[in-house]
Structure 1
Amino acid sequence: MTGSALTGFALGVWVYLETGSTTQLALTFVLAFLPAIVFSPLAGALVDRWDRRVILLVGDAVGIGTTLTLGLLFTAGHLEPWHIFVTTVIRSLLRAMQVPALNSIVVLLAPKEQIGRANGLMGVANAISQTVAPALGGALMLAIGLNGVLFIDCATFFLNVVVLFLTRIPTPPASEAGSEGKGSLRSEIRQGWRVLAGNRALVTLAVFYAALDLSVGFVDILITPMVIGFASVSALGMVLTVGGVGLVLGSVTMASWGGPRRRVHGTAGFAIPLGLFLCLGSLRPSVTLVAIAAFGFMFCSMIIDGTSRSIIGTEVEPDLQGRAFATFNMITNTVLCSSYLLAGPVSDRIFEPLLAQDGALAGSVGDIIGTGPGRGMALLLGLLGLLVLATAVVGYLTPGLRGLSDKVTKPAEQSPEAEQSSEEEPARTADAGPSQDAGATGDTGRETTVGTARQPISDR
């Protein structure tokens, strides 16, 4: 993750420096999203068909090839922006397979009582990579240039290959639902949709998560111009760094805690402070206020993400999870990408003019949150914060989320007398979804899931 984040940062900087075009820079973000979104349904079906380790190994091999190709073109002085665009598309297609493959692999490796903590650990990896990449990438571009950054990325791919060869990855246990879906790729792709559509809790979760992603996409795009509108670039760097710390600490908290026992508290519950922090950051043009809001926003978003991925891990059979995660990612990333495309036009053409010095709202709302550059964006983010709060309330009131089963916990050891007593009573099991019956405590039956924190610039 860190190697790829460094390369993504460095290539984006190179494209902008070479072309001076914000449009071409934005195109690299779009190309990192759209191919994966379109390819996700097919990718999920292939993940469930093929060996997960082979998928990751092939992805790393292609990653090495594309990175070396860019390095050779740069060294020869022939690197062009379109080379980077093509490489971005290839990596996006590979990521569409690698993300659900990784999710389903961790389901097979970790005990199901550790679902939330496994999500947190992967969140830590992602958070560290996204926190380190901008600062380290900028320093490395000055110190060793684009070629050096590409070499580091190659080295991380080789490390991945070594780890994969040393890790035993069991085959997912077959389930009745998985066997019923076997057939043509088309039928298996349709089953990926049915896995979500047939489970009211997962449908509700996908809609809830997509609604939050709408706000997250606007925050990703607007935070930079909003802060620069009233402060310096160094102040922006401080705000982003504090937000990165919140990202890391949120992931560490999820890894050590595992999330709340009632999973609705980990989704709708943490959406409440997330919306409040978003509103807080829009109140005044204050670097301190925005930094606090960025920290809280990123902290809460990691708990929500980890809990959401854990829910899929317990509600879906292991041999269907490639399709389930791919479909879920496609839905939520489509909303996220759409919000990226909408953020600029909506803020520039509607909200910024409203809070210009002589804008329509300058004498009313402007007296509260201020006027001038970036304050229209602040108003937009404040309204999105209210939307997040409304989404949280609806989430709590919706039976799909409210009725989610509690987190699976490891049972305490029983005394022989207790065991004998329990044998005389009907077995009582927690209602933790269909995958609970499919799991076992041996090498091939452990279940959990991992959340790859929402993508570009992580891929999110």
Structure 2
Amino acid sequence: MRKFIGVWASSLVTMTGSALTGFALGVWVYLETGSTTMLALSFVLAFLPGILVSPLAGALVDRWSRRTILLTSDAVGICTSLTLALLFSSGHLEPWHIYVTTTIRSVLRALQVPALNSIVILLAPKEQVGRANGLMGVATAVSQTVAPVLGGALMLGIGLDGVLLLDSGSFLVNVVVLFLTRIPAPPSSEAGTTGGGTLRGEIGQGWRVLSAKRGLVALALFYAALDLSVGFVDVLITPLVISFASVSALGVVLTIGGIGLVLGSVTMASWGGPRRRIHGLAGFAVPLGLFLCLGSLRPSVTLVAISAFGFMFCSMIIDGTSRSILQLEVEPDMQGRAFAMFNMVTNTILCTSYFLAGPVADHVFEPLLAEKGALAGSVGGVLGVGPGRGMALLLLLLGVLVLVTAIAGYLQPSLRGLADKVSRPAPEPATAKGSAESEESEKSDGDPRSLDDTDTDADSDVEPEPRAPMTQR
């Protein structure tokens, strides 16, 4: 695990730098424009371009050297951060500059995430994969928890340009780790060799590697169903709390939720998840749904904070278990395509829920539990009436949906079987011979196809999966 720990430590630094930058840029856009819509646009641009290029990105990850991809991405990340810092210092920074760089980073993230996810199985022994994914979750959780608190202080202390320079330094840490770490190429498999050829054929192979096993299809659908609820929670938690409490109370709720995120990741890192992985999926989806229901019952900061903690904690166990299943069930030289397609499906649902959350809450559910709303005399007697209670009803129904999803997961034989079996041995840890072969293969830098057999990897600056504050899956 020593090489993996080095990669993980670098990941923690760079994820924190990127999270600080994301927070600072969002604050700057809102203060500059005073528009929530303009702020929301930056969130959409962080997701949508990456979703659109995911099929191509996955094929390129399996075709090229992952190490080369990550080095290039870090170099571009340094350039974008420095460019924004120079524009801000000279007084020429505009919101559209941020939108352009956010789009560029979204496309790069579509390459980085499957590359990073697919190297875990190359660095960690099979029996440690769950813990390794838990550690990556720790890096994500810590960066997300620290960013709002530290980002605000840094904005006041060193300004936006200072935050951007720190982000550039975090990218540089990744570059150093990439140059110092040698990771063996993934072993060639029959499926990977068969899928090679044209980019179009390799993209299609990415779909086939998921659809060939019913269990992986079931996993994608299960995860997507949870993402539908996750997206609504991410958007509605702020207006729900503010509807009956202060902004400082919202900060307390989000902080406690962040603690749950960190502790969930630490638990996964130390435990590795249950022996039967269906319990790590559907088993933890049950309390996830119950916590969501609990937070909607009363306009209470205490109840919502408890729910946020439990919701975040359970989400990290589900996330780590899901990635472990993909890493153990898909051949290493196919994992770039597999993760790209999996992320595209699930993130599409997540992004859709972001679009729907506001209109559905404002125009459908809030009127139902207004003072004289259609459900004020019935459901209102349980949940209450007035501002925010319609959103509470929506979250209650989403909690029920999560519970139904958990039951469906347990009733799905292919998902239960897939979670328990390992269809292939994990690759051997890096040896001196493996390192030598990796270093030798790096000398052939001509045609990108010459990198096929030298998938040397290292860390990236992004979270294991581009995501909103709930999971970053």
TM-score (norm 1): 0.91
Provide the residue aligned with 1:243 in structure 2: 257
Structure 2 residue matching 1:400: 3-state secondary structure: helix
1:193 aligned onto 2:207: yes
Provide the residue aligned with 1:299 in structure 2: 313
Q: 1:4 to 1:441 in 2, by over 3 A?
A: closer
1:205-284 correspondence to structure 2 within 5 Å: 205-284=219-298
Provide the residue aligned with 2:448 in structure 1: none
1:110-144 Cα offsets, whole Å, 9 max, x none, are 11111100000000000000000011111111111
1:275-298 Cα offsets, whole Å, 9 max, x none, are 000000000000000000000000
C-alpha separation in 2, matches of 1:382 and 1:313: 34
CA contact (8 A) 1:305 1:453 kept: no
Provide the residue aligned with 1:339 in structure 2: 353
Find 2:373's aligned residue among 348, 353, 359: 359
1:66-113 Cα offsets, whole Å, 9 max, x none, are 000001111111111000000000000000000111111222111111
C-alpha separation in 2, matches of 1:459 and 1:254: 15
CA shift for structure 1 position 453 = 5.0
Provide the residue aligned with 1:391 in structure 2: 405
Q: In structure 2, give the amino acid aligned to 1:440.
A: E
Provide the residue aligned with 1:318 in structure 2: 332
Provide the residue aligned with 1:382 in structure 2: 396
CA shift for structure 1 position 309 = 0.3
Q: In structure 1, give the amino acid aligned to 2:91.
A: G
Q: 1:454 to 1:279 in 2, by over 3 A?
A: farther
CA contact (8 A) 2:211 2:217 kept: yes
Provide the residue aligned with 1:410 in structure 2: none
Provide the residue aligned with 1:142 in structure 2: 156
Provide the residue aligned with 1:439 in structure 2: 427
Find 2:179's aligned residue among 165, 190, 206: 165
CA contact (8 A) 2:207 2:341 kept: yes
C-alpha separation in 1, matches of 2:370 and 2:312: 29
CA shift for structure 1 position 456 = 3.5
CA shift for structure 1 position 168 = 1.0
CA contact (8 A) 2:192 2:334 kept: yes
1:98 aligned onto 2:88: no
1:123 aligned onto 2:137: yes
CA contact (8 A) 1:36 1:96 kept: yes
Q: In structure 2, give the amino acid aligned to 1:255.
A: A
Kindly tell me the number of residue pairs found equivalent between the two proteins: 431
CA shift for structure 1 position 164 = 1.2
1:189-248 Cα offsets, whole Å, 9 max, x none, are 000000000011100000000000000000000000000000000000000000000000
CA shift for structure 1 position 366 = 1.1
CA contact (8 A) 1:276 1:389 kept: yes
1:303-335 Cα offsets, whole Å, 9 max, x none, are 000000000011100000000000000000000
Find 2:384's aligned residue among 352, 370, 373: 370
Provide the residue aligned with 2:50 in structure 1: 36
CA shift for structure 1 position 53 = 1.0
Gaps of 5+ in 1: 407-430
C-alpha separation in 1, matches of 2:106 and 2:419: 34
Structure 1 residue matching 2:386: 3-state secondary structure: coil
CA shift for structure 1 position 441 = 5.1
Q: In structure 2, give the amino acid aligned to 1:455.
A: R
Provide the residue aligned with 2:10 in structure 1: none
With 358-367 and 214-223 compared, the bigger mean Cα shift is at 358-367
Gaps of 5+ in 2: 1-14, 436-458
CA contact (8 A) 2:286 2:403 kept: yes
Provide the residue aligned with 1:416 in structure 2: none
Q: 1:28 to 1:313 in 2, by over 3 A?
A: same
Give the fraction of aligned pairs with identical amino acids, expressed as a percent: 76
TM-score (norm 2): 0.89
Structure 1 residue matching 2:407: 3-state secondary structure: helix
Find 2:464's aligned residue among 443, 452, 456: 452
Structure 2 residue matching 1:224: 3-state secondary structure: helix
CA shift for structure 1 position 41 = 0.6
Structure 2 residue matching 1:337: 3-state secondary structure: helix
C-alpha separation in 1, matches of 2:214 and 2:418: 10
C-alpha separation in 2, matches of 1:459 and 1:312: 17
CA contact (8 A) 1:264 1:401 kept: yes
CA contact (8 A) 2:123 2:429 kept: no
C-alpha separation in 2, matches of 1:349 and 1:400: 39
CA contact (8 A) 1:68 1:154 kept: yes
1:229-275 Cα offsets, whole Å, 9 max, x none, are 00000000000000000000000000000000001000011000000
C-alpha separation in 2, matches of 1:207 and 1:163: 36
Q: In structure 2, give the amino acid aligned to 1:223.
A: I
C-alpha separation in 2, matches of 1:177 and 1:297: 38
Q: In structure 1, give the amino acid aligned to 2:428.
A: A
Q: In structure 1, give the amino acid aligned to 2:117.
A: N
CA contact (8 A) 1:119 1:310 kept: yes
Find 1:22's aligned residue among 20, 36, 55: 36
Provide the residue aligned with 2:127 in structure 1: 113
C-alpha separation in 2, matches of 1:144 and 1:62: 23
C-alpha separation in 2, matches of 1:453 and 1:241: 21
CA contact (8 A) 2:121 2:427 kept: no
CA contact (8 A) 2:123 2:430 kept: no
C-alpha separation in 2, matches of 1:284 and 1:401: 35
Q: 1:141 to 1:405 in 2, by over 3 A?
A: closer
C-alpha separation in 2, matches of 1:455 and 1:170: 29
Structure 2 residue matching 1:26: 3-state secondary structure: helix
